[in-house]
């Protein structure tokens, strides 16, 4: 095992650990750039190399101790192993070059597109950061900036012959999690179910906007526009907050924050919610729980898909969605297999499979 692989297993980013001048030099003179094994001990010298390695090991020791205390260890390992198993997809180089040349959407989009450029016909290896946000929702530490790449450009991901690239989305993931946490069932279309449960005589889209306002404390202005009345919008939001049990769960989370100095999600993960952020405890809890649930379910789904499809490859996690490659003539069967995903500690989720690109 190379030092780069070992550091990645420990949750470190080996590329960002080492001095910029050496990285730049290797990127210029080595055909495969920083993706190839680099003899860092020889490059940096014994003392500097060992100092960097010991610092990484100490950070890992602290993280392991924290995991053991938080009861989050098994979930963390499952998520970490799954993220490390993601593969680099083929890239349509001509299409990527066209999009970069004709980009008029600003620097963020251009940077996202350029992050897929490599010295081969594959995208660079992606490294996700599991601690880059207060909730633990994934961010990209290194590699393709898939999280900020607009969906219309995802067709730069090229399918192998006889395959197609698809995206598996968890449908209405966060409202579904909120219902399970509140002790309620979530069947079929959750927004239609909520509307029926609360006898709301409004359109589905209105229930969707109202649900997000209820869950995350967003203002009622957009809902007021839809309903034509601010008091009516507030009544709908209050009704949904009661249905989701927001106040009850929020009160418990605030008590935990005051007593322990931190809160955890449903899996035991400690969240980086500040002690003065009482208004964010519920949204942080729900986003973090949904994020972990999604990745755990994707991990389980990948095990099933690998058994059924020898060409199956997982590429990227985009919050509540998984981008992967499947054999074209097996897609209907695989779609049926993954239409419903479940997780014992949370509940049953429905999915939707859509095409990203095909060959």
Q: How many CA atoms lie within 13 A of 76 on its CB side?
A: 22
**pLDDT of 3 higher than 90:** no
Q: What is the pLDDT of residue 320?
A: 94
Give the model's confidence band at 55: pLDDT under 50 very low, under 70 low, under 90 confident, else very high.
confident
Q: Which long-range contacts (CB under 8 A, 24 or more apart) does 329-337 make?
A: 329/162, 331/164, 331/166, 333/308, 334/305, 334/308, 334/309, 337/304, 337/305, 337/308
**pLDDT of 319 higher than 60:** yes
112-149 pLDDT tens trace: 999 999 999 999 999 998 887 888 899 998 899 999 99
Give the model's confidence band at 318: pLDDT under 50 very low, under 70 low, under 90 confident, else very high.
very high
Q: Has this prediction a pTM greater than 0.85?
A: no
Q: What is the mean pLDDT of residues 94-108?
A: 93
Q: What is the pLDDT of residue 357?
A: 77
Q: What is the pLDDT of residue 67?
A: 56
**pLDDT of 59 higher than 80:** no
249-291 pLDDT tens trace: 999 999 999 998 889 999 999 888 888 889 999 999 999 999 9
- Residue position matching structure tokens 């809902």: 223
């Amino acid at each position: 095992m190379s030092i780069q692989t070992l550091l990645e297993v420990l949750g470190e980013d080996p590329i960002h650990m080492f001095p910029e001048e050496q990285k730049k030099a290797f990127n210029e003179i080595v055909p495969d750039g920083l993706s190839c094994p680099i003899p860092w001990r020889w490059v940096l010298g014994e003392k500097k190399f060992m100092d960097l390695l010991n610092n990484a090991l100490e950070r890992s020791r602290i993280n392991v101790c924290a995991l053991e205390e938080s009861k989050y260890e098994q979930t963390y390992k499952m998520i970490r192993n799954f993220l490390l198993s993601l593969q680099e997809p083929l890239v349509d180089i001509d299409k990527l070059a066209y999009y970069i040349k004709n980009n008029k959407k600003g620097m963020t989009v251009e940077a996202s597109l350029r992050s897929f450029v490599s010295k081969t016909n594959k995208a660079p290896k992606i490294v996700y950061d599991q601690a880059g946000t207060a909730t633990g929702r994934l961010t990209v530490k290194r590699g393709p900036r898939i999280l900020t790449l607009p969906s219309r450009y995802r067709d730069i991901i090229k399918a192998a012959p006889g395959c197609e690239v698809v995206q598996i989305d968890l449908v209405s993931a966060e409202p579904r999690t909120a219902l399970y946490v509140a002790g309620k069932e979530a069947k079929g279309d959750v927004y239609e179910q909520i509307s029926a449960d609360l006898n709301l005589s409004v359109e589905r889209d209105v229930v969707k906007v109202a649900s997000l306002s209820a869950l995350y404390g967003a203002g009622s202005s957009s809902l007021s526009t839809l309903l034509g009345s601010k008091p009516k919008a507030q009544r709908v939001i209050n009704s949904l907050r009661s249905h989701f049990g927001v106040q009850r769960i929020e009160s418990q989370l605030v008590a935990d924050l005051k007593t322990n100095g931190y809160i955890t999600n449903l899996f035991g993960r400690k969240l980086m919610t500040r002690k003065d952020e009482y208004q964010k405890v519920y949204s942080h809890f729900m986003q973090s729980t949904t994020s972990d649930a999604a990745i755990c379910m994707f991990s389980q789904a990948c095990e099933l898909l690998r058994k059924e499809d020898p060409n199956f490859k997982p590429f990227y996690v985009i919050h509540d969605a998984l981008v992967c490659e499947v054999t074209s003539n097996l897609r209907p069967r695989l779609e049926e297999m993954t239409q419903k995903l479940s997780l014992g500690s949370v509940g049953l989720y429905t999915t939707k499979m859509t095409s990203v690109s095909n060959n």
